[in-house]
Amino acid sequence: RRAMAVLRVRHCRALLYCRRAPSRCPACGGDLRAAGLSAAPVRLRCPFRHGHGQPRAFLIRPTRGTFLEEYDGHSDLHVGITNSNGVVYNYDQEGVHRDHSGWEQCISIPLVHPDMSELLQHWDTLLEEFSLEEAWLPHRYEEEEHNCFTFALAFVNRARRARGRQPLSKARFTQSFLLPHTREASRYLTLHQQLAHSDFYIVPLPEPEQDS
């Protein structure tokens, strides 16, 4: 399901978020059509991607449901790694899955840059061989310490070692790679939820003027 557009309008020292741009400012009543380019509506980028169209990426989705429809901000999340064709390798108590569907609304973090030619060529083989290791058998699964995140981060570090890079700790990977994306998604979800109950969400701008 496609996300409805979230628009941002800047006017009268406030940011106005809405689904459809109004003709008059709901904060001050001013005519937005006469306010010029500074008040032109800007469509916010939706942070959620069709995971099966994101090759060689780290994906995050709710364990149940989708971000935009059921997610409450506290439910469990599930993660996986895509191969070059968008098949999602992920690990749970049943072992490793190779999903061709089910990841249609995800946070996606690209893992391979175009200049990593050798890793691009060997990514699928590396991922398949990694997924067959004994560490990822069903009975090895443990909800807190040996889970889907363990699997995905271990593969990220396997790929890093293949390039002569140092492995990343869970804390470092989370801070450097995940948080910028999850924070953006959290802000978008807040707006999405606010606009499910009202036509506008108004955020006053502090001094000096800053973007939200």
When pLDDT is cut at 50, 70 and 90, the band that residue 210 belongs to is low
Neighbour tally for 137: CB within 10 Å: 12
The DSSP string of 156-184 is HHHHHHHTTPPPPPHHHHIIIIIHHHHHH
Give me the pLDDT at residue 131, please: 98
Residues 6+ apart with CB under 8 A from 28: 11, 12
Residue whose pair of structure tokens reads 């991607």 in the numeric block? 49
Cβ density class 156-192: b for 16+ within 10 Å, e for less? bbebeeeeeeeebeeeebeeebbeeebeebeebbebb
For 101-110, the pLDDT digits (tens) are 999 999 999 9
Phi and psi torsions of 190, nearest 5°: -60, -45
Neighbour tally for 119: CB within 10 Å: 17
pTM: 0.87
Q: What does the domain layout of the chain look like in residue ranges?
A: 7-44+190-204, 48-168
- Distance from chain centroid for Cα 38: 29
180 dihedral zone (left: phi>0; alpha: psi -120 to 50; beta): alpha
Neighbour tally for 115: CB within 10 Å: 7
Residue 1: is its pLDDT beyond 60? Answer: no
Residues 6+ apart with CB under 8 A from 113: none
Assigned token pair, 96: 């490793």
Give me the pLDDT at residue 82, please: 98
For 2-61, the pLDDT digits (tens) are 557 899 999 888 899 999 988 888 888 888 888 888 788 999 999 999 999 999 999 999
